[in-house]
Amino acid sequence: MHSARYWAIVPAAGIGKRMGSAIPKQYLPLLGRPVVAHALTTLLQHPRIDGVVVAVDAKDEWWPAVAANLDTAKPVLRAAGGAERHHSVLNGLEMLRERAAWSDWVLVHDAARPCLSAADLDRLLAELADDPVGGLLAVPVRDTLKQTDTAGRVAATVDRSRLWHALTPQMFRLGMLHDALRAALERGLLVTDDAAAMEAAGFAPRLVEGRGDNLKITRPEDLALAEFFLARRAVSVAG
Ligand code: CTP
Ligand code: MG
């Protein structure tokens, strides 16, 4: 029987408006390597992942140098970036159609998340291997949440016991995710992650609890945090 293979899609075509740096945040140096290189290395080093598609902006000047420095024998393909994250992901899925089966798993992982751990990636693959839908890494919300009125005063305290932060990777079957994203785009829905497209198609993705340090570099202070997490991990591996 054909057993499903695993591919990764890394959307890396954003401009990083909130970061406000001179170059897109996914190319900023972090412990001597670009942010996206950290994200890709964890994916490429996983034995079950067969290859990666990176969605890159047409005018991007930095990707070729990153690609040339990736130490891997696996295919690393370049797809076109799109106007929004979901367009970039869809372009990656279209590229995979030529070499992957419709039932293969696809893990979509933000280029701006350099601290994905091998252990979280392992757990995601293991917990979802037989799942009919797929799912995503997530962490429970820990702060008390307030809802405001229009004047900026508290209107309600929200029950956080069932609230989670959605992280990446998000893992779905190639064909199901492709059709769900396409349908969401055609309906003009605002889907900020892959799971949202699956939800709009009527599926209930599974949440797999991950580590809180799998942060997305968003604002300037996040870079120092990511550096701290990665450096500490390198020490614990060496020691
Ligand atoms: N992304 C993409 N194509 C887009 C927009 C975003 O591939 N048109 C990617 C980003 O490169 C990033 C991931 O999607 O790896 C998550 O997006 P986000 O953190 O919002 O990055 P940016 O859109 O670059 O940042 P900002 O929203 O602050 O502009
Ligand atoms: Mg964005």
Q: Please report, for residues 15, 138, 162, 192, the alpha-carbon distance to residue 146 in angstroms, rounded to integers and kept in the order given.
A: 30, 21, 15, 22
The 3-state DSSP class for residue 171 equals strand
Residue 119 pLDDT more than 90? yes
Stated pTM of the model: 0.97
What is 6-238's CATH topology?
Spore Coat Polysaccharide Biosynthesis Protein SpsA; Chain A (3.90.550)
35-44 and 118-128 helices, crossing angle to 10°:
50
Q: Which of 29, 28, 36, 43 is nearest to 171 (CA)?
A: 43
The DSSP call for residue 84 is S
Give the pLDDT confidence score for residue 2 in this predicted structure.
60
For residue range 184-200, what is the model confidence (pLDDT) as tens digits? Answer: 999 999 899 999 999 99
**Residue whose CB lies within 8 A of the most ligand 1 atoms, among 85, 113, 219, for a mutation test:** 85
- Span from the CA of 83 to the centroid of ligand 1 (angstroms): 10
For residue range 49-65, what is the model confidence (pLDDT) as tens digits? Answer: 999 999 999 999 999 99
